[in-house]
Amino acid sequence: MTSRSASVILLAIVGMAALSGCSPTSPQTEDDWGEVSIADYSHVTARLNYETGTVEMPLDAVRAVTPEVANKSRRAIWAVTDACMAEHGHPRVSADVSWPAIAPDEDRLYGRWSTALASRFGAVPSPDTLEGFRIDTVARGVAYNSQLTPCWDGMQEVLAPELTFIESSTNVDYQVYRQAARATLDSPEGKAALQKRTTCMENEGVVVDPETSMPSSDYGTGERADETMVRVAVVAAQCSEQTGAIQELYDLTARYQAAYIDQREAQFVALEEHATAVEARLDEVLRDPDAAWASRPAG
């Protein structure tokens, strides 16, 4: 799909399903989260996969957009778009896509810590998880693509409530993700872990940005990894793992997540109810996308 709006929506869906790789800056919320104690959560830990750079965290069990829901969302997006295109005499293209399951994204909340990925890609993001099932619309010609934009806009009207929920950064699970990361970075233990990693990198001759506790951006963050970038990224990943800093950071984050989840229990119950309703609506759309398209708002 070459439409920028299409890519933005699909990336938002995948990103919300993963809740990973986001900067833990101040979330936009009017809620006063205050402080939370993790004294009773020392048993909570994060499970890191150093080959894939993925993490298993407490939020995985309660997040609104599971990989399954994300998959249904992207299928529904194209099913409704196809219904509109078919109405105008164009073929349905989504039937040609296998829609493989969405794999967990690499988690770079605290930088790239997988030496395996760093040695391959440096600081450059690993290949987009959407690459395996992009839909090539350009090959279908001018007439198809001319109609695609209004159909895409119409689809967004039909699925507006569902897409708004899926893409929302105000859902409590997303807010907990951000708050737990901030609490980790603000904690003495979190700062000590970052300093331990920084010292390791500096001992290896890597210049560290004091604002981010990561290698200086002057080493490069572009689309192509050169030899220097790869070397620096590998040092950063090795220091993250070998000092134990990355495990400590994610363990702290997992404990803060667990504490916030318990603190916001009622909100998570409401979130689950809303997510269940959204998934039911997506199932309905997938059963009969033509009916969903026909029910779009008039005008």
- Concatenating the DSSP letter of every residue in 108-129 gives -BTB---HHHHHHHTTSPPPPT
3-state secondary structure of 55: strand
Average pLDDT for 57-83: 94
- Of 71-75, 130-134, 162-166, 216-220, give the lowest mean pLDDT range: 130-134
Residues 54, 195: contact at Cβ < 8 Å?
no
User: CB under 8 Å to 285, separation ≥6 — which residues?
Assistant: 76, 79, 80, 158, 159, 292
Does residue 136 register a pLDDT over 50?
yes
Number of domains in the chain: 1
- 2-61 pLDDT, tens digit per residue, is 444 554 445 444 455 555 444 444 434 445 787 899 999 999 999 999 999 999 999 999
Q: What are 178's two structure tokens? A: 């951000």
Does residue 222 register a pLDDT over 80?
no
In this structure, is residue 32 part of a structural domain?
A: no
In this structure, is residue 298 part of a structural domain?
A: no
Q: Which residue shows structure tokens 């990561």?
A: 214
Range of the domain at 247: 4-21+40-292
In this structure, is residue 30 part of a structural domain?
A: no
User: What's the pLDDT score for residue 11?
Assistant: 46
In this structure, is residue 27 part of a structural domain?
A: no
What percent of the chain stands above pLDDT 70? 85
- Residue 208 phi/psi, 5-degree rounding, is -110, 135
Average pLDDT for 106-114: 95
In this structure, is residue 216 part of a structural domain?
A: yes
In this structure, is residue 35 part of a structural domain?
A: no
The amino acid at residue 165 is: F
d(CA 237, CA 115): 5
Q: What are 23's two structure tokens? A: 């900067």
User: What's the pLDDT score for residue 27?
Assistant: 39
d(CA 296, CA 156): 10
User: What's the pLDDT score for residue 253?
Assistant: 98
d(CA 71, CA 123): 28
d(CA 156, CA 158): 5
